[in-house]
Amino acid sequence: MNQLTQYADYEQYKAALDSELQKTAEGFVRIGYLLKVARDTDILKESGYKTVTEFAQAEYNIDKTQVSRFIHINDKFAEGGYSDHLLPEYQGYGYAKLTLMLALPDEMNEELSQDFSKSEIQTLKQEYEKEQEISEIEVMLEEKTPDMSSMSALEKLVYQLFKENADLFKEVWIELAEADENAEGIICPTDKKIYVVRIPGEGRYNLTFNENGEHSYLNQRDLSRNSFNWDDFWKAFEMLQNTGAGLDYMGAYENIYGITYPEAFKDEVAPVQPRKETKVQPSKPAKEAPKEAPKEAKPEESKESEELEEAEEPDKAAVVTTAELISEEAVQGETKEGKTIRERILDTLIDIEAVFNASDEAISPEEVDKAATKIADVLKDIGRYREIHNMEVSE
């Protein structure tokens, strides 16, 4: 009987598994290439199979969704878009990450590195997809921020970056007032940091900071990219400093943006979670202090319809929580079991999305059934994640 290999610790074990998965990712590129050969040549002529999907299903139990995914990975990440070699710049990513990156344009993939986690790439993918759902006409009709009318492109991004990230504004403002030694390290705490910032009337931008000081901003709509350095950034930041001169961070924020600083209305008894550094910060429009809407009296006979609405609510809450589970906020104070569950949820969601997006043909009833089973598994995992972290269902 073979003895189990002994690993010194989790890190050593994880490194070994990562290495094998990387080999698998390169294998998927080769598989995609071989499937293309079957699709584009007469190699199957003597086999009796009419199509590559029929061949793959019968011989290897690879369904048409997987065939499509293998081929698309080869299209995007193989040398020349048609070879059995993975492009050098995508070495080390692994299959799950490459699957997510299929949905991103090349200009955005160029900003990534193999150090980005699946959840970080997923966050970036979600932000990009949200922006693509908004039409050009809708963007043009959005109410623009008056204060931005005379700003340069970088000044707009700096203005919006700190408006959306009040916690970052606080840290940088205090640091500049006290020492001015680590403000750049606060903004870019890792080798690379991408903030997704949305400017009304223009759309989302990737504001990317690098530890070498060579930064850029990418328009997610037209994919144009511009470069800047720290000197450019701090020059743009001066407009905020001038407006908030002589004030503490809360007063400065309120004076600059005309809205209450978020901490002023946070629940004071809520536990403070340690900040977890992530390479991707999603856009999060600043919210003003919540105002209670007037409640209308409801007649007694509407009680039954209210109960029916409440009965439908768990599915909606589950969808909201699924999105939260792969965001930065969801992993604060996370347990090891929770991390395992969250990563399993992310992998399952990738598989579900592939069923509906990767195939060029109609989806079979069997594939829909498989997706339904996976969705049920995700909902169970979400329930367990909530349970071990004492999370309440989102309203």
Mean pLDDT of 209-226: 97
pLDDT band with cut points at 50, 70 and 90 for residue 149: confident
pLDDT value at position 41? 93
Kindly report the three-state secondary structure assignment for every residue of the chain: CCCCCCCCCHHHHHHHHHHHHHHHHHHHHHHHHHHHHHHHCCCCCCCCCCCHHHHHHHHHCCCHHHHHHHHHHHHHHEHHHCCCCECHHHCCCCHHHHHHHCCCCHHHHCCCCCCCCHHHHHHHHHHHHHHHCCCHHHHHHCCCCHHHCCCCHHHHHHHHHHHHCHHHHHHHHHHHHHCCCCHHHHHCCCCEEEEEEEECCCEEEEEEEECCCCEEEEECCCCCEEEECHHHHHHHHHHHHHHCCCCCHHHHHHHHHCCCCHHHHCCCCCCCCCCCCCCEECCCCCCCCCCCCCCCCCCHHHHHHHHHHHHHHHHHHHHHHHHHHCCCHHHCCCCHHHHHHHHHHHHHHHHHHHHHHCCCCCCCHHHHHHHHHHHHHHHHHHHHHHHHCCCCCCC
Tell me what the mean pLDDT of segment 90-115 comes to. Answer: 90
Q: How does residue 354 score in pLDDT terms, banded at 50, 70 and 90? A: low
- pLDDT tens string 25-79: 678 888 899 999 999 999 998 899 999 999 999 999 989 998 998 899 999 999 9
Write down the mean pLDDT value for the chain: 81
pLDDT tens-place string over residues 285-339: 765 544 444 444 444 444 444 443 443 333 433 333 444 444 444 455 678 777 7
Provide the pLDDT for residue 343: 76
pLDDT of residue 304: 44
What confidence category does residue 198 fall into, taking pLDDT thresholds of 50, 70 and 90?
A: very high
